[in-house]
Amino acid sequence: MKQSISQIKSSLQKKEISVEELHDEFFKIAKSNINNSYNLILDKEHNKSFITESQKRYDNSKPLPLDGIPLGIKDLFCTKGIRTTASSKILSNFIPNYESFVTQQLLKDGSIFLGKNNCDEFAMGSSNETSHFGPVVNPWKNKNEPDNNLVPGGSSGGSAAAVAEGSCVASMGTDTGGSIRQPASLCGIVGLKPTFGSCSRWGIVAFASSLDQAGPLTNCVEDAAHILNSISKFDFNDSTSSNHTRDDYVSELNQKTDQKIKIGIPSDYLQGVSKDILNQIENTKKVLSKNNIEFLDVKFSTTEYALSTYYILAPAEASSNLARYDGIRYGVREKGENLDDIYLNSRTEGFGDEVTRRILIGAYVLSAGYYDAYYRQAQKVRRLIKNDFQRIFEEVDFILTPTTPNEAFKIGDKLDPISMYKNDIYTVPTSLAGLPGISIPSGLSSNGLPLGIQFIGNYFQEKKLLQIAALAEKELAFNE
């Protein structure tokens, strides 16, 4: 079984391994990049001074919280002096002169970046097939069709695959409608999307500003807590950043409460799902029931509208957020006779099909004559969805759902966008409401592929959310 951050730190402290050896161990796997989970792998030379400094701190017995821990970073975080592409052709030569807030925190806490993880282009996708750098391959194989390459999920597919293949201890992802939780589920790892406003969006290539949220993909819940401790901070430079006091997410992770915990299961989520998926929920109920936990049936009134709402709002914001990519100030400029040609050619050549599609949807729903019917209506329904969750959180402490409606599928299998979009059916409502959600692996499908369950908590209740996830993780014993 893979080692946790705490275990690795303890080995480093005890000198059972050096920071350099640790780095090399992961670097070797990353370098082979067999699953195409990296767009860029930083050579050792780049990290030399980080490794030395980290080792010094261990030698002085003053290690930082994430000292020496090799991390992958989704190629959506701007990293100073390191190429940042958002897996798009249009940014394929972009080297930022600034470091995103979140990666700044991770560096400050001593972690070492191995490289930039592949992802869907501008984080638009649920299978990591929209990347300019090619699809990422899920390290897991269908035991009945072992030759087929499966998708890792998306958009943080490279991050999920990297953690699952063991090329980094953890990876930073971003989640707009499920982009952390869904790939985590399909790759058999843990993925946490914090409450909107927990982690600064400053320096993250924007997809949909009102939904984007950074979060960790890890081997275990405790690792997610470690990373969250580092990245969840108020940032004045993000006007949507929340200024509440953060908990220490690690220290009381395994503490049990005497209070009865109420978990709601939305039965409408489970209608028509496969036996495999249903089993995950049933099994979770079973293993948790010996604890002081009560399961309740809860009913949402907005579930059927969530995806529609999301696929209006996210493209609308994206169409505007991606207007800055024009080949004028940075990025790839295509040839053109005049300025307008440069714009048109750079954008048309620079964006892939899915990004183009979403930009078009976005421009359409915002355009004169359609704004009220689509965009404004979706904003209103978004409030109804939020209210729906708030009503349910008056009755229960957590909501339990499957993370995805299906296991990992074959690369190239889902060509129709709508059936692809439906992958996010369980993660999107949470994103619209801005609530925290965590996916943990819960078992295997009949094809031997990992499946995940999602716990949803109330606003800024990450501490409790991690506690219940850690408990479920222990009881489900997926990793053992």
Partner 1 sequence: MVIGLEVHAQLKTSSKLFSSSPNQFGSDPNENVNFIDSGMPGMLPVLNFGCIEKAIKTGFALNFTINKHSVFERKNYFYPDLPQGYQISQFEFPILTEGFINIESGQNQKKIRIERAHLEQDAGKSIHDIDPKYSFIDLNRVGTPLLEIVSYPDLKSADEVVSYMSSLRQVLMYIDVCDGNMQEGSLRADVNLSIRKPGGELGTRCEIKNLNSFKFIRQAIEYEFQRQIEVIESGGVIEQNTMLFDTSSGETRAMRSKEFSHDYRYFPDPDLLPVNITQEQIDKIQHTVGELPSQKLERYINELKIEKDIAKIIIAEKENTDVFEKIHNETEVPPKLIASWLVGDIFAFIKENNLDVLSLLNKTKAIGELLKLILDDIISNKIGKEILPRVLNDQGSPSEIVKEMDLEQVSDSGELEKIIDDALKGEEDNISKYQGGSDRVLGYFVGKCIKATKGKGNPKLINKLLLKKLQK
Partner 2 sequence: MSDIDIKRISYLAKLKLPEEKEEFYANSLKEIIKWVDNLKKIDTKEVKPLHNVTEKTESIRNDEVYKNNSVEEILDNAPERAQNFFKVPKVVE
238 binds partner 1 (CB under 8 A): yes
329 binds partner 1 (CB under 8 A): yes
State which residue, 327 or 402, has the beta carbon closest to partner 2. 327
Structural tokens at position 307: 């995806």
Beta-sheet pairing, 213-218 with 170-175: antiparallel
* The one among 141, 233, 262, 357 contacting partner 2 by CB under 8 A: 357
The span from the CA of 150 to the CA of 140, in Å, is: 7
153: buried, middle or exposed (CB in 10 Å: 19+, 13-18, 0-12)?
Answer: buried
Using the contact rule CB under 8 A, the part of the chain among 88-96, 110-118, 125-133, 461-469 near partner 2 is 88-96
What are 112's strand-pairing partners?
70
378 binds partner 2 (CB under 8 A): yes
310's enclosing H/E stretch is helix 303-321
Using the contact rule CB under 8 A, the part of the chain among 52-60, 144-152, 222-230, 372-380 near partner 2 is 372-380
The span from the CA of 344 to the CA of 23, in Å, is: 44
DSSP 375: I
Catalytic residue among 54, 100, 111, 179: 179
State which residue, 249 or 305, has the beta carbon closest to partner 2. 305
- Omega of the bond leading into 155 within 30 degrees of 0 (cis): yes
Beta-sheet pairing, 38-41 with 112-117: antiparallel
374 contacts 149 by C-beta, under 8 angstroms: no
Which residues, at least 6 apart from 14, have a Cβ–Cβ distance to it below 8 Å?
none
Which residues, at least 6 apart from 86, have a Cβ–Cβ distance to it below 8 Å?
75, 76, 119, 121, 122, 123, 205
CB atoms closer than 10 angstroms to residue 480:
6
Find the shortest distance in angstroms from Cβ 389 to partner 2. 10
Q: Which of partner 1, partner 2, none does 382 bind, CB closer than 5 to 8 A by kind?
A: partner 2
Find the shortest distance in angstroms from Cβ 98 to partner 2. 8
The yes-or-no answer on residue 28 being catalytic is: no
Catalytic residue among 74, 89, 193, 463: 74
364 binds partner 2 (CB under 8 A): yes
* The one among 296, 380, 395, 412 contacting partner 2 by CB under 8 A: 380
366 binds partner 1 (CB under 8 A): yes
Find the shortest distance in angstroms from Cβ 65 to partner 1. 24
Find the shortest distance in angstroms from Cβ 193 to partner 2. 13
Burial 309-344 (b: 16+ CB within 10 A, else e): bbbbbbbbbbbbbbeebbbeeebbbbeeeeeeebbe
Contact track, partner 1, 68-87, x by CB under 8 A: ---------xx-----x-x-
Helix axes 353-366, 303-321, angle to 10 degrees: 100
* Total of chain residues touching partner 2, rule CB under 8 A: 70
The yes-or-no answer on residue 74 being catalytic is: yes
Burial 444-466 (b: 16+ CB within 10 A, else e): bbeeebbbbbbbbbbbbbbbbbb
The span from the CA of 282 to the CA of 320, in Å, is: 43
32 binds partner 2 (CB under 8 A): no
Catalytic residue among 126, 127, 131, 155: 155
State which residue, 295 or 364, has the beta carbon closest to partner 1. 364
384 binds partner 2 (CB under 8 A): yes
Find the shortest distance in angstroms from Cβ 155 to partner 1. 16
Q: Which of partner 2, partner 1, none does 78 bind, CB closer than 5 to 8 A by kind?
A: partner 1
The span from the CA of 115 to the CA of 472, in Å, is: 31
* The one among 6, 18, 92, 240 contacting partner 2 by CB under 8 A: 240
Contact track, partner 1, 197-216, x by CB under 8 A: ----xxxxxx-xxx------
Specify the amino acid at residue 51: I
State which residue, 98 or 108, has the beta carbon closest to partner 1. 98
The span from the CA of 140 to the CA of 431, in Å, is: 27
Q: Which of partner 1, partner 2, none does 296 bind, CB closer than 5 to 8 A by kind?
A: none
* The one among 6, 148, 149, 377 contacting partner 2 by CB under 8 A: 377
The yes-or-no answer on residue 242 being catalytic is: no
The span from the CA of 65 to the CA of 110, in Å, is: 7
123 contacts 207 by C-beta, under 8 angstroms: yes
* Span 263-302, contacts to partner 1 by CB under 8 A: none
State which residue, 194 or 203, has the beta carbon closest to partner 1. 203
Q: Would you name the residues annotated as active-site residues? A: 74, 155, 179
**Residues in touch with partner 1 (CB under 8 A):** 77-78, 84, 86, 91, 94, 96-98, 100, 201-206, 208-210, 236-240, 316-317, 319-320, 322-324, 326, 328-330, 339, 343, 363, 366-368, 371, 375
For partner 2, the binding residues (CB under 8 A) are 93-95, 97-98, 196-197, 210, 234, 236-243, 304-305, 308-309, 311-312, 319, 323, 326-333, 336-339, 342-345, 347-348, 351, 356-357, 359-364, 367, 373-374, 376-384, 386, 417-418, 433-434, 459
